[in-house]
């Protein structure tokens, strides 16, 4: 009467817990090696940092059924074509500034962060920058003096003054341009990018 | 049938581990208050964006809101483990003095980090800002020096717990607990480096966030729940331990690869859409098991327990975990839906109910278990002198408040997904259009109302915690264990 059926025995479930956990951990580790390989800058899905020397488009790929970034003709950022090392240094400065200014606790990046301000994944391609000739200048002005260049769209939600220097602002713009070239499997869906001249 | 007797209270001094636990519980409650205070300010800033503009901006208030939460939950877990370790190991804590020093170092470090968050806020775009001010990475904003300190303190804590079990006796609960603590400490290290590559950054960042809150934390609270059910209901250790193993198998079986639901849109390969979607859809299953477990055990005892407030919070935990982490997570975990909901107030809705339901509740339950002992093993079952109105109302206000905020944020999330994502193509103007829509604004107002309700609930709960059992003359209700 008091005999425990095999399917509810403590030993069976202890062994099951150990084996299931170990198996899943091994699968995760194997997939992690492949994933990290694919997302390393210069890899299949995340372009090298010197992509900031080129135009970036976001277009529907008919094979995959959603928008993906397309790298276009040369279009140096701030008029300076940079080698890979200098491009990486500029993007690194931008990323460091984005972290040091705690951007992620208002904005989302790749959709992660806080929801008080717009997503930055495709900020470089946003039509709010009017046109591609004004974009770089408007972005730098906004970052350095957000109070007087507020882009609140009537909400009254202004970005605070974070003491961003011109050099840091250039870094942030480079980082945002590079981030917009990442293949995000169609996120954000149905994005309407800034119109850009396509010399391709 | 369970039997119950009414005794006079038999007070016994707290053990060394329990005294350490009380330090952690008190600090946890102070941080809980800070979480709510800064949450209220953040909520207000949605309605009145000029509040503290350029002084205490949203990025600071929200960071303190979520960091206070993470730290108070961790303090609650550490306190809970210190509370149960000697009972479970059947021996004294090996390093009581070390544990106390460790507590003060950790608490001082947390205080310094918060002061820097509030008064320095941001730094120049240099590595030293990340080392000294904040890392700017959601949930794990603590500067690098504090990261290293946290790991050292957790290792000291781990040593104390593992060594105590080694000196005393091992059990199913302690075995799972110790192995889980190794994973918990190890995984934190994945979040401790800088890279300019945002995809690589977020890939490892999710190892910390997901593998903590959707795997190792869940197993940790499973251990605390198992011990809590034995304490409050006199549940059979054998049954509870078997359930714990089942939960570990289901939790790690679904949760480890469930990590993939964070890898849909951050640059990671397409195969994560299938793997993440499938395994994260399974994640609610162990949480269902947990509800069955708690309700079945309580029902079997005719809802008689040695500690009514604690049992009520354990049941709130079982349901909160299932709805908050399970149902609210599942609602937007499939990639077809997540494509539109990712990065919207849907996530905030899920976050509020999940963190509260899964983790805040069980820490509160443990504090009530501790208070019973602190007040001298007094009666805390039904028929308290004031009918227990304070704990009952605070339970209702807190749960009602959080559920209200969750529903309000969900409505805001629906609105945002529809207007910003589906209609306006996720542009900045689309984002702001959604933020100004009538339904979104109404939802944000309701969130504030329910935030106030939650705050009242917390204050009432603190009052109850300070007074419950202080004038009680009856001893703790004794529960005979049920037959196997």
Say if residues B342 and A111 touch (Cβ distance below 8 Å).
yes
Give mean pLDDT, residues B467-478. Answer: 90
Which chain B residues in 85-114 lie under 8 Å from chain A, judged by CB atoms?
Answer: none
A133/A79 same-domain check: yes
The Cα-based distances of A77 to A52, A80, A91, B119, B392 in angstroms read: 6, 6, 11, 35, 62
Q: Are residues A156 and A102 in the same domain?
A: yes
Q: Is B484 on the interface with A (CB under 8 A)?
A: yes
Q: For an interface test with A, give the residue of B129, B143, B253, B427 to mutate (most A CBs within 10 A).
A: B427
Query: Which of B426, B434, B436 to mutate to probe the A interface, most A CBs <10 Å?
Result: B426
CA angle B263, B185, B63 (to 5 degrees): 65
Chain A residues with CB under 8 Å of B345 CB are 115
What's chain B's average pLDDT?
Answer: 93
Q: For residue B324, what are the CA distances in angstroms to B63, B232, B399?
A: 21, 24, 12
Q: Is residue A68 part of a domain?
A: yes
For residue A108, is it within any domain? yes
CB contact under 8 A, A187 and B199: no
Question: How close is the nearest chain B Cα to the Cα of A8, in Å?
Answer: 7
Distance CA(A116)–CA(B46), nearest Å, equals 7
Determine, yes or no, domain membership for B466: no
Q: Choose the closest CB to A184 out of B266, B344, B422.
A: B266
Q: Which of B259, B208, B269 is nearest to A34 (CA)?
A: B269
Please report residues of B whose CB lies closer than 8 A to that of A163. 122, 124
Do A109 and A29 fall within a single domain? Answer: no
Mean of the per-residue pLDDT values of chain A: 94
Contact yes or no for B199 and A45 at CB 8 A: yes
Residue B70 lies in a domain: yes
Integer Cα distance of B187 and B147 in angstroms: 12
Indicate if A91 and A110 belong to the same structural domain.
Answer: yes
**What are the structure tokens assigned to B19, written together?**
């005294």
The pLDDT tens digits of the residues spanning A129-153 come to 999 999 999 999 999 999 999 888 8
Let me know if residue A69 belongs to a domain. Answer: yes
Structure token digits, residue B353: 């109910």
Q: Which residues of A touch B272 (CB under 8 A)?
A: 35
Give the tens place of pLDDT for each residue, B292-324: 777 777 787 777 788 999 999 999 999 999 999
ipTM field = 0.96
Question: Is A73 inside any structural domain?
Answer: yes
Cβ–Cβ under 8 Å, residues A28 and B256: yes
Q: Is residue A30, in this structure, part of any structural domain at all?
A: yes
Q: Are residues A159 and A114 in the same domain?
A: yes
Q: Is the dihedral of CA A87, A88, A89, A90 positive or negative?
A: positive
- Work out the number of other CB atoms within 10 angstroms of the CB of residue B108: 11
| Rounded Cα gap, residues B318 and A190, in angstroms | 39
pLDDT (tens digit per residue) in B36-63: 999 999 999 999 999 999 999 999 999 9
Show residues of chain B in contact with A63, CB under 8 Å. none
Q: Which of B41, B129, B267, B289 to mutate to test the interface with A (most CBs of A within 10 A)?
A: B267
Domain shared by A164 and A73, yes or no: yes
- Which among A14, A111, A115 has CB closest to B265? A111
From chain B, the residues in CB contact with A22 under 8 A are none
Whether A32 is covered by a domain: the verdict is: yes
Per residue of chain A (200 residues), what is the pLDDT tens digit? 467 888 889 999 999 999 999 999 999 999 999 999 999 999 879 999 999 999 999 999 999 999 999 999 999 999 999 999 999 999 999 999 999 999 999 999 999 999 999 999 999 999 999 999 999 999 999 999 999 998 888 888 999 999 999 999 999 999 999 999 999 999 999 999 999 988 76
In a domain, A44, yes or no: no
B141, part of any domain:
yes
B483 domain-assigned = no
- Number of folded domains in chain A? 2
Domain assignment of residue B37, yes or no: yes
Model pLDDT for residues B109-159, shown as the tens digit of each residue: 999 999 999 999 999 999 999 999 999 999 999 999 999 999 999 999 999
* DSSP letters spanning B160-211: HHHHHHHHS---HHHHHHHHHHHHHHHHHGGG----S-HHHHHHHHHHHHHH
Domain residues for the domain of B22 are 13-170
Whether residue B254 contacts residue B282, with contact meaning beta carbons closer than 8 Å, is answered with yes
Chain B partners of A101 at a C-beta cutoff of 8 Å? Answer: 59, 122, 125, 136
A71 plus A166 within the same structural domain: yes
Q: Are A120 and A164 in a shared domain?
A: yes
pLDDT value of residue B13? 85
What is the residue range of A27's domain?
Answer: 9-39
Minimal CA separation from B166 to chain A, in Å:
20
Is B110 within a domain?
yes
**For chain B, what is the domain count?**
1
**Does the residue B162 lie in any domain?**
yes
Which of B207, B219, B268 is the best residue to mutate to test the A interface, defined by the most A CB atoms within 10 Å of its own CB? B268
- pLDDT tens, B190-199? 889 899 999 9
Q: Is residue A192 part of a domain?
A: no
Nearest chain B CA: its distance from A99 CA (Å): 4
Dihedral sign (CA B376, B379, B385, B386): positive
CATH of the domain at A96: 1.10.760.10
A78 and A153 inside one domain: yes
Does residue B3 have a pLDDT over 60?
no
Q: State the Rg of chain A over Cα.
A: 23
Closest partner CB to A96 (pick from B42, B125, B339): B125
Distance (Å, whole) CA B233 – CA B151: 35
């Amino acid at each position: 009467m008091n005999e425990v059926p095999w399917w509810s025995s403590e030993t069976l479930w202890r062994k099951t817990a150990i084996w299931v956990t170990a198996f899943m951990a091994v699968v995760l580790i194997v997939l992690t090696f492949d994933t990290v390989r694919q997302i390393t800058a210069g890899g299949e899905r995340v372009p090298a940092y010197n992509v900031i020397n080129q135009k970036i488009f976001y277009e529907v790929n008919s094979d995959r059924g959603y928008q993906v970034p397309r790298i276009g003709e040369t279009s140096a950022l701030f008029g300076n074509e940079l080698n890979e090392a200098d491009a990486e240094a500029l993007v690194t400065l931008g990323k460091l500034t984005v972290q040091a200014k705690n951007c992620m606790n208002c904005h989302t990046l790749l959709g992660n962060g806080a929801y008080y301000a717009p997503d930055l994944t495709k900020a470089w391609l946003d039509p709010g920058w009017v046109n591609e000739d004004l974009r770089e200048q408007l972005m730098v002005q906004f970052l350095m003096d957000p109070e007087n260049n507020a882009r609140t769209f009537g909400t009254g939600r202004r970005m605070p003054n974070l003491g961003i220097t011109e050099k840091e602002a250039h870094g942030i713009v480079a980082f945002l341009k590079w981030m917009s070239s990442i293949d995000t499997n169609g996120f954000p869906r149905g994005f309407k990018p800034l119109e850009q001249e396509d010399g391709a | 049938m369970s039997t119950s007797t009414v005794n006079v209270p038999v007070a016994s001094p707290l053990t060394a581990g329990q005294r350490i636990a009380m330090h952690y519980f008190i600090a946890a409650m102070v941080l809980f208050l800070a979480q709510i205070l800064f949450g209220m300010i953040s909520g207000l800033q949605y309605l009145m964006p000029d509040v503290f503009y350029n002084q205490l901006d949203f990025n600071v208030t929200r960071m303190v809101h979520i960091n206070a939460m993470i730290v108070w939950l961790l303090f609650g877990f550490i306190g809970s483990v210190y509370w149960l370790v000697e009972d479970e190991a059947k021996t004294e804590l090996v390093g009581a003095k070390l544990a106390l020093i460790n507590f003060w170092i950790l608490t001082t470090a947390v205080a310094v980090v918060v002061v820097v968050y509030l008064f320095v806020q941001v730094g120049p775009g240099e590595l030293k800002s990340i080392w000294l001010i904040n890392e700017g990475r959601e949930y794990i904003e603590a500067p690098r020096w504090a990261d290293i300190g946290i790991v050292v303190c957790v290792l000291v804590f781990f040593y104390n717990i593992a060594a105590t079990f080694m000196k005393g006796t091992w059990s199913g609960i302690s075995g799972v607990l110790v192995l889980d603590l190794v994973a918990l400490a190890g995984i934190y290290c994945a979040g401790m480096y800088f890279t300019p590559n945002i995809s690589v950054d977020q890939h490892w960042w999710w190892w910390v966030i997901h593998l903590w809150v959707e795997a190792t934390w869940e197993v940790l609270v499973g251990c605390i729940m198992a011990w809590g059910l034995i304490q409050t209901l006199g549940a059979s250790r054998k049954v509870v331990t078997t359930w714990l193993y089942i939960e570990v198998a289901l939790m790690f079986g679904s949760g480890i690869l469930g990590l993939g639901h964070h890898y849909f849109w951050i640059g990671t390969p397409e195969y994560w859409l299938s793997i993440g979607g499938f395994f994260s859809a399974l994640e609610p299953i162990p949480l269902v098991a947990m509800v069955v477990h708690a309700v079945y055990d309580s029902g079997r005892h005719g809802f008689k327990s040695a500690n009514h407030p604690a049992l009520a919070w354990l049941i709130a935990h079982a349901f909160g975990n299932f709805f908050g982490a399970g149902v609210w997570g599942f609602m937007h975990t499939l990639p077809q839906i997540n494509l539109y909901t990712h990065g919207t107030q849907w996530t905030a809705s899920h976050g509020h109910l999940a963190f509260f339901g899964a983790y805040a509740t069980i820490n509160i339950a443990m504090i009530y278990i501790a208070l019973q002992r602190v007040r001298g093993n007094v009666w805390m079952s039904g028929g308290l002198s004031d009918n227990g109105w304070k704990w009952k109302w605070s339970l209702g206000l807190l749960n009602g408040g959080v559920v209200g905020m969750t529903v309000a944020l969900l409505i805001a999330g629906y609105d945002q997904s529809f207007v910003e994502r589906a209609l306006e193509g996720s542009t900045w103007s689309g984002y702001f259009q959604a933020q100004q829509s009538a339904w979104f604004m109404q939802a944000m107002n309701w969130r504030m109302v329910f935030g106030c309700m939650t705050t009242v609930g917390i204050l009432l709960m603190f009052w109850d915690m300070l007074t419950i059992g202080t004038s009680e003359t009856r001893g703790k209700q004794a529960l005979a264990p049920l037959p196997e």
